[in-house]
Amino acid sequence: MLKQRVVTASVLALIALWVVLKLPAAGFGAALLAVVLLCAWEWADLARLAQPRGRALYGGLVLVLLLAVWPLADRTTVVASLMISAFAAWCGAVLWLWRYTGQPERQDRPSMVGVAGVAALVAAWLALMGLRHEFGPVYVLFLLMLIWVADIGAYFAGRRWGRRKLAPTISPGKTWEGVWGAVAAALIFALVGAAALGIGSRWPGFVAVCMATVGFSIVGDLFESMLKRQRGVKDSGSLLPGHGGVLDRLDSLIAAAPVFLLGCYGLAG
């Protein structure tokens, strides 16, 4: 299983590098849109839209909203305002998770799950587009690598030292040791990234933004795990060997992207 995960992750990483660094803005947006629509297809099932027609309509709604906000992706003030809203929504997701831990038998309304998915997916797409426009492809690549490094740190630290369960009613496999492994790996990477990106005297703030980003990436991971548990499925899909669905691979990034962009806006003044 580990070998399969590594092979799949390596292929995906190479594709992501090419998309981020080689494609023009329009091509990057189109490629990202295609990925988001795959996530929407899987999220629709979590919202109990099991039939292809319902899932297609859900994806169509996401597509219409993405096309509607595309012209706004280069308007910093508008994007920043929407990122504040997205950040507030993900803070609300923390409360959603906390409530579920006390009522693990609870089944949230499919409509609520569906609305949350539309908001999360559109906000993540706009965040990545805004990040590329405002700070450049290198910052997008840094964000992706930050999430990857944190995920790797969590995986190996959890396997080696994992004892204390993080959220047993949501995701029994995740541990606090895994969290600290993610934080430690991300901290080292953030310090290296601050130097490589030429952050200068703002490096403490940049590292703090990175740590907050990693924290919300964990929230995104747990949030999807909660929805899968309510739906009674192990993975959101089966498209990616060793990883499950596309949403399983990107749940952390979906939550992290708005937080990272908002933090970068704050550092830029």
Contact 214, 186 (CB under 8 A): yes
- What is the spatial distance between Cα 264 and Cα 78, in angstroms, rounded to a whole number? 15
Average pLDDT over residues 201-229: 97
Q: Which amino acid is at 265?
A: Y
| Interatomic CA distance for residues 178 and 245, integer angstroms | 22
Which pair of structure tokens corresponds to residue 225?
A: 């795990």
pLDDT in tens, 81-136: 999 999 999 999 999 999 999 888 888 999 999 999 999 999 999 999 999 999 99
Which of 3, 224, 259 is CA-nearest to residue 131?
259
Number of Cβ within a 10 Å radius of residue 30: 13
Q: Which of 7-21, 195-209, 219-233 has the lowest mean pLDDT?
A: 7-21
| CA–CA separation, 118 and 167 (whole Å) | 25
How many Å apart are CA 109 and CA 119, to the nearest integer?
A: 16
* Whole-number pLDDT of residue 146: 98
Does residue 1 register a pLDDT over 60?
no
In whole angstroms, what is the distance from residue 118 CA to residue 133 CA? 23
**What are phi and psi for residue 245, nearest 5 degrees?**
-95, 175
* Beta strands at 165-167 and 171-175: parallel, antiparallel or unpaired: antiparallel
- Give the global pTM: 0.94
